[in-house]
Every structure is written in C-alpha cells, then in structure tokens.
Amino acid sequence: MSDPLGDRDRLPFVLAQAAEAATRYLAAIDGERVHGGRVEEAAAAFSGSLPETGDGSAEAIALLAEEGIAAATRSAGPRFFHFVTGGATPAALAADWLASALDQNSFSWVSSPLGSRLELVATGWLKELFGLPPSWGAVLTTGATMANFTGLGAARRWWAGEHGVDLDEQGFGGLPPVPVLTSGYLHGSAVKALAMLGIGRARIRRFAADATGRLDRDAFKAALDQLGGAPAIVIANAGEVNAGDFDPIEEMIELAHAANAWVHVDGAFGLFVRVSTGAAELARGVEGAASVIADGHKWLNVPYDCGFAFVRDPELMHGAFKFAGPYLPIGSDDRPSFADFGPEASRRARALAVWATLRAYGRAGYREMVDRHLGLAREVGAEVVASDDFELLAPVRINVICFRYRPLGVPESALDDLNRRLGAAILEDGRVYFGTTVYGGKVAFRPAISNWRTTAVDADLIVAIARELGESLAASR
C-alpha cells in the first residue's frame, strides 16, 4: 500500500475496526488494572525504521488496537485517581469521534460555521453552568494551561494599557516588571503561562501563611497597598491540587479592585463546585473576577484536549490574539472567528464534545455527578479518620482526599519514606491508581474523584488497597 487514495474503499472497514476495538476496551475498563501491562512489548512492536511501503490501514489499525490497548493506561476508567482526571462521557466520546470524522477547522466562521456556532453555544452554556455573565468573552483551548495563558494574556494587555502601551503591538520595551500576587496554592501551569507570556516566573510573589500554601491575607493586602495604585495581576486559586482548598476569592477580588489589580481565577477543576448542591460557596464571588478558567478534560469529562477561558472584556482577548491577513475572514459577534480569541489558529472542533455532553446530561446531570463525587470523597475521608492506620492531613473540601499511611509504632521520621514506597507500590499494583505529593512538608496521597464512571465500589478500594499494600510492605521489612 502506498498512496492513501488506494485505501479509500477500506475506510468503512477500518472505522468499524476502530469502533470494535474501542467498544471492547471500554466494556472491560471498570474492572481492569489501571496501568497498561505490556508497555515495552508495545514499544517494540511499534518501532523499527520508517516503512518505505506501508502495510495498509487495516494492518496498521489492527496492530495499534492490539498493542495499544494492551499498553494503555486505563485513565478513562473509574479507578484512575491520580492528578485530577476525568474520563469521557458517552455523549462526549461519540461527539469527539464525529469531530475527527468531520475534521472541521474551527478557526473561523468561514472554515467551519458548524464549529463556530457550536463553540458559541457551548461556551454560552458553560457560562450558564458556572454562573458567569453572558457578556463575557469565551474560547475553548487545549486545556487549563492554555486557558491560563489566554486569561493572563488578556490581563497582560490590560496591565500594559494602564501604562499607556499597546503591549501586543509594541512589546515590553520600557515597561516595568509586571507585579503578580497570589497565594501558595498557585498551580505550575499558571507559572508556565506567565513564563510563556514573558512576564517571568521570578515576578510571582506568593503570600503563604504556612507550609500548605494557604493565603497570608495580611501580607497579601500589605503588598497590594504598597503598590500605591500601580496596576498588577492577582491570581486566585479555586481548587488547589493537594487538598482541594480554595483561596478566599471574593475577599481577594475586593482587595485587588481597591488596589487596581486584575484578578484571574484558576478554577481548572474547582470551578465545577459552582454546579454542586453543597460546595458552591467555596467559589463565591468568581463572577467579580476579570478572567476565569476551567478544564474540560477534568470534571466535564470530555476527551483530551479541552479547556475554557472566560474574560470579562472580550475586546482584550481580541486585542491580544487577533489574527489577520488579507486572505483571512473578519469575524463578528454573531459569526465569530475563534482564532481571534485564543492562542491557536487552526483548531480542532472541541465544541462538538462540549456541546453534546451538556445537551445530553444538562445542568442537573452534572450536578448529580459532581455531588456524587463530593459525597464519595467525604466518605473516603471519614474512613481515613475512623481508621487507626491512616491520617487525614486536610479536611475533605471537594473531590480530593489528602491523607497518609501512619500505622501504629512507626516513628514520624520513617513516615515519608514509608508513604513514598507505598505510593510506588500502589502505582505498580494498579487496582487503584494515585501517587504521592508533599503536603505541609509531609509525603501524602491525594486521590481525586472526577471520573463519571466512579461509584462507591471503586472509591471503597482506595483505603482498602492502600492498607493491604501497606501491611505487606511492613511485613516484608
């Protein structure tokens, strides 16, 4: 097989082949170990030099399905509790397949009216879901890192404008450093975005009251006061990765506004508490910020990759990201070119999956799922508290449970090493999947529940399997 043109008639067959493999994979996923077993074998099967003459699509897809499925991490399944990872709802997955088949380029209205229209509707629904004003600008990105980049890019434009400079035209020359103030909860992706924007990692001032990173309100306020009205950027964190805590967002916004600062909220997963029945208070006041972001491939449970950026003043997005050329169409409010609102030009039609999952399950469906996850996390936390061999290190505020193994008789000085070894054993075992972090100076676990498939059957295994593996580690010493 050489020219793909010769493969045309085989298309229905290979699509059916892929659908059969995916269906088989997902049918078994609930009970399988999370790590893919045959990683090295798959790597060997995929390697070799570039074929001069290809095998044809059926052969290539058969090999990919067989070896790829054997090697794949079951992160789409219900027991992947590492990081904060969602799966893909049935509606989102099917819509994402269609996005590939339709192969829409969602950069402009002209290239894909369908993609642009669905992105307008889907981002409108997301604003409704999160309680953000409909007048805000919004764009789908590859994830929360690029959503942070987008929101902070608008912030950077605003900041330079306060100094009388159009930074996106003129660059930074002659401008002072950009003050960035936040708590110790800042996520690495916002740090990366600040570096990419040329603001610089070293400009970040973290006001942490203790080793957990909790905001030191007094120091934060004093630093804002010291700026004397000079423009600045404040980043508030809605959902910190170690223990799911929130900055006091409303208070930070109030202080920042009094001091002439832009507030950007990183709510990669935490923004979803605004959908919940009982935890929405944690993200109170978010609508008072200037930019807010969240992730789609986390708690919305759409396939990778998908994030959302929302900016109060859409003109600032357009100013930062405008994309022009004599052959390029000019967008309008009703017929938008989303390439003008975010970092990418050619773009996957991510809106199909976002629209489909919101259409399929609605606000009530998401509320039920988020509430279920919050309830499961609370139950795991209660189990930890009731045990005499585990220690809860922070209250369970949302879907993250921060705890460590602390069997009787093991001295404090040995706990970090024990928990690190137990973390490695959990990943190696694979019946549940979560790693370690360092929280308040202690090595800890931080499983997060955010997959639509996860039920009590899965969550109940978190402590049980950690205990079983912990006891066998202790016995082997």
Ligand X SMILES: Cc1ncc(COP(=O)(O)O)c(C=O)c1O
Fill in the DSSP letter of residue 101: H
* DSSP β-bridge partners for residue 236: 265
**From the CB of 230, what's the least distance to ligand X, in Å?**
27
Q: Is 307 a residue that touches ligand X (CB under 6 A)?
A: yes
Q: Which is nearer to ligand X, 84 or 358 (CB)?
A: 84
Q: Which is nearer to ligand X, 184 or 470 (CB)?
A: 184
**From the CB of 166, what's the least distance to ligand X, in Å?**
28
Q: Concatenate the DSSP letters of all residues of 136-153 into one string.
A: SEEEEESSHHHHHHHHHH
Report the C-alpha gap between 60 and 163 in whole angstroms: 57
Specify the pairing of strand 232-237 against strand 204-206.
unpaired
Report the C-alpha gap between 1 and 92 in whole angstroms: 34
* DSSP β-bridge partners for residue 403: 392, 445
Query: For the chain, how far is it from start to end, CA to CA, in angstroms?
Result: 57
Q: Are 165 and 155 in contact (CB under 8 A)?
A: no
Q: Which is nearer to ligand X, 192 or 467 (CB)?
A: 192
Report the C-alpha gap between 426 and 445 in whole angstroms: 10
Q: Is 268 a residue that touches ligand X (CB under 6 A)?
A: yes
**Which burial class, exposed, middle or buried, applies to 228 when counting CB atoms under 10 A from its CB (0-12, 13-18, 19+)?**
exposed
Site string for ligand X, 185-224 (x = CB under 6 A): --x-x-----------------------------------
**From the CB of 268, what's the least distance to ligand X, in Å?**
3
> In a 3-state reduction of DSSP, which class is residue 67?
helix
105-113, 139-147, 213-221, 451-459 -> range binding ligand X (CB under 6 A) = 139-147
Instruction: Quickly count: other Cβ atoms within 10 Å of residue 82's Cβ.
Output: 19
Pick the binder of ligand X from 266, 287, 344, 383 (CB under 6 A).
Answer: 266
23-31, 244-252, 265-273, 277-285 -> range binding ligand X (CB under 6 A) = 265-273
**From the CB of 143, what's the least distance to ligand X, in Å?**
3
Q: Is 423 a residue that touches ligand X (CB under 6 A)?
A: no
**From the CB of 294, what's the least distance to ligand X, in Å?**
9
Fill in the DSSP letter of residue 300: T
Q: Is 153 a residue that touches ligand X (CB under 6 A)?
A: no
* Placement of tokens 């690029």 in the chain: 146
Look at residues 244, 201, 203 and name the one whose alpha carbon lies nearest to residue 227.
203
**From the CB of 270, what's the least distance to ligand X, in Å?**
7
140-148, 161-169, 176-184, 434-442 -> range binding ligand X (CB under 6 A) = 140-148
Specify the pairing of strand 403-405 against strand 390-392.
antiparallel
Q: Which is nearer to ligand X, 143 or 319 (CB)?
A: 143
Fill in the DSSP letter of residue 387: -
Token pair for 30? 């609930």
Q: Which is nearer to ligand X, 132 or 293 (CB)?
A: 293
Pick the binder of ligand X from 241, 273, 358, 426 (CB under 6 A).
Answer: 241
Q: Is 143 a residue that touches ligand X (CB under 6 A)?
A: yes
Site string for ligand X, 36-75 (x = CB under 6 A): ----------------------------------------
Touching ligand X, residues 361-390 (CB under 6 A):
none
**From the CB of 390, what's the least distance to ligand X, in Å?**
24
The CA-atom distances, in angstroms, between 258 and each of 133, 203, 224 are: 22, 21, 9
Q: Is 144 a residue that touches ligand X (CB under 6 A)?
A: yes
**From the CB of 308, what's the least distance to ligand X, in Å?**
10
Count of residues near ligand X by CB under 6 A: 14
Total H helices, total E strands in the chain: 15, 11
Report the C-alpha gap between 189 and 345 in whole angstroms: 21
Q: Which is nearer to ligand X, 145 or 419 (CB)?
A: 145
Q: Is 84 a residue that touches ligand X (CB under 6 A)?
A: yes
Half-sphere exposure of 391 (CA within 13 A, CB side): 15
Q: Does the N-terminal peptide bond of residue 305 adopt cis geometry, omega within 30 degrees of 0?
A: yes
Report the C-alpha gap between 422 and 410 in whole angstroms: 14
Fill in the DSSP letter of residue 452: T
Tell me the residue nearest to ligand X as measured from the CB. 143
125-133, 198-206, 263-271, 359-367 -> range binding ligand X (CB under 6 A) = 263-271
**From the CB of 191, what's the least distance to ligand X, in Å?**
10
Pick the binder of ligand X from 295, 340, 344, 458 (CB under 6 A).
Answer: 295
46-54, 154-162, 208-216, 261-269 -> range binding ligand X (CB under 6 A) = 261-269
Q: Is 83 a residue that touches ligand X (CB under 6 A)?
A: yes
Half-sphere exposure of 218 (CA within 13 A, CB side): 1
**From the CB of 389, what's the least distance to ligand X, in Å?**
29
Q: Which residues bind ligand X (CB under 6 A)?
A: 83-84, 143-145, 187, 189, 239, 241, 266, 268-269, 295, 307
